[in-house]
Amino acid sequence: MKRIIVYTRAWRSGAGLYAQGLVEGLAAAGSEVTFIAPAGSPEDRTAHLDKVRRVRPVRELIDGGSRLRRAFFSLARVAGGLGALLAARFTSSHFIISIPDPFVFAIWPLILLRLTGARVVFVCHDPEPHSWSLPARWRWLERAGYRLIYGWASVIVVLSEAGRAPLVRLFGTPADKIVVAPHGAFDVPAAGPGPGSNTLLAFGTVRRNKQVALAMEAVIAAREAGRPVRMIVAGAKDPNDPAYLEECRAIAARCPEGLVMEIGFITDERVNELLAACDALLMPYADFNSQSGVAVLAGMAGRPVIAAPAGGIADLIAAGLAAVEIPQPVDLDGVTQSILDFYATPAAEWSDRATRGRVLLNEALAWPRIGRQLAGLFE
C-alpha cells in the first residue's frame, strides 16, 4: 500500500486529537503513514506506532513571550511544516490535510502538490469558520481563500451530512467531490454513573455559535423555575471574538452561585474531572454545520447531552448518543424547558441510556473503520 502523508498544524485540543486518531486509524487499517504536525500535547500517541513516521515542526507559543517572539515561532512552525509537506512529495502522491495553516500560506503548497500530480484529500471540519480571522471589510478575501482551497483539493471530506450543503451553496463545490466520514471516537475513560449533582457543563471554546450566553441565561431561568441547577463553563476564549467572553462573564456575575467559569486551556485530567462531576453537557448550538468534538467526547465518556440537533450532533443522536433535543429554532424558553425535561427523568435512567450510547458510538466511530474509508479514497 502506498504511503499516505497526513498534515495538520493542530497539536492540542480536539483538532489535534482528531489528527492523531486519524493517523492511528490509517495505521491500524494497514497504511504506511508520514504524520507532519507539531508534537502533541499533553502526549503524542502516534510517536511509537510501527507504521508511522513522525515529523514534528516547532510549536507556536500559546502563552508568554513578546509579540515578536510569538510571531517568530508561528512563522517557524509554518515554514517547518510546509517545508516538510513539500519534501514529502518525493516519497508519496497521497496526501490528507486537516486544519491547514492560514490560507495565505496553505494555498500555494496545495497548488504545487496538485500540479505535480498528487491526490489531496482535504478534511473540512467547518465549511465556514466558526469565527472569521479578518475584519468584515476583508471577508471577501478570506472567503475567496477558502474557495481556492476547496477548489484545488481532489476530494473534500466532511464530518457530517450537514457539512455537504454549505460547501455546495456557499462555495460552489461539486457534490460528487464531497465524501462524508464521521469524526472518530475519542479514547476517554468512562465517567461513571451520572452523579445527580444538578451540575451541567458547557465545554470548549467560548464561541457565539455555541450560544454559551444563551445557555447561561437558561440556567438562570431554570433556577428561577425551582430547579437548583448550576453550570460550569470551561474552555478557552475565541481569539477572533474576545468581546463574547466578556458578555458571558457579565451574565455569570449576575448569578455567581449558579454559574462558574473556568477560562483557558483545560487539561485532560481536568476534563475527566468535569465530565465525572456533571450530569449532562448543555449545547444549544446554532449556525453549526460541522461535527461536534464536544458531543463525541460526551458520548464516549458516557454523559448525555441537552443539545440542539445542529450539524453532526443530529448524526450522533441517531447513532445512539443519549440526549434531550432542544427544539429549533433555539430560544431561551426552549433551552430552559429542555433543562427541566432532562431533570424530570431519573439520573439512573440517564446513566443506562448513556452507557448504551457509549457502546453504540464506539462501534460507529471506530478509527480503523474511518482509516479504511479515507485510505480507500486513494485507490
Question: Is there a common fold for 4-181 and 199-364?
Answer: yes
Cβ neighbours of residue 284 closer than 8 Å, sequence gap 6 or more: 210, 211, 214, 215, 218, 306, 307, 308, 326, 330, 335
Q: Measuring CA to CA, how many Å separate 251 from each of 3, 214, 333?
A: 51, 10, 17
* CA separation for the pair 162, 168 (Å, rounded): 11
Question: Cell numbers 447531552 correspond to what residue?
Answer: 305
| Cα-based angle 160, 32, 24 (whole degrees, multiple of 5) | 45
* CA separation for the pair 40, 58 (Å, rounded): 11
What is the full per-residue pLDDT of the chain (379 aa) written as tens digits? Answer: 689 999 999 987 778 889 999 999 999 999 999 999 999 877 788 878 889 999 999 988 877 778 888 889 899 999 999 999 999 999 999 999 999 988 889 999 999 999 999 999 999 998 887 667 788 888 889 899 999 999 999 999 999 888 899 999 999 999 999 999 999 988 788 999 999 999 999 999 999 999 999 999 999 999 999 999 999 999 999 988 899 999 999 999 999 999 999 999 898 899 999 999 999 999 999 988 888 889 999 999 999 999 999 888 999 999 999 999 999 999 999 999 999 999 999 999 999 999 999 999 999 999 999 999 999 999 8
DSSP string of 184-202, one letter each residue = PPP------S----SEEEE
Look at residue 1 in the predicted model and tell me its pLDDT. 60
pTM of the model: 0.82
Question: Cell numbers 426552549 correspond to what residue?
Answer: 334
Q: Give 280's strand partners.
A: 200
State the cell numbers at 240.
477572533
Delimit the domains of the chain by residue range.
Answer: 4-181, 199-364
* CA separation for the pair 205, 109 (Å, rounded): 29
Look at residue 60 in the predicted model and tell me its pLDDT. 86
Helices (H), 207-346: 212-224, 242-254, 268-277, 293-301, 313-319, 332-343
Helices (H), 116-261: 139-152, 164-171, 212-224, 242-254
* CA separation for the pair 60, 191 (Å, rounded): 32
Answer for the pair 336, 222: CB distance below 8 angstroms, yes or no.
yes
Cβ neighbours of residue 209 closer than 8 Å, sequence gap 6 or more: 130, 285, 286, 287, 288
CA atoms within a 13 Å half-sphere pointing along the CA-CB vector of 367: 18
Per CATH, which fold does 4-181 belong to? Answer: Rossmann fold (3.40.50)
Going 164 to 168 to 171 to 172, the CA torsion angle's sign is positive
Q: What are phi and psi of 279, to 5 degrees?
A: -85, -35
Say how many C-beta atoms besides its own lie within 10 A of residue 211's C-beta: 25
Element (H, E) at 34: strand 33-36
* CA separation for the pair 320, 304 (Å, rounded): 10
Per CATH, which fold does 199-364 belong to? Answer: Rossmann fold (3.40.50)
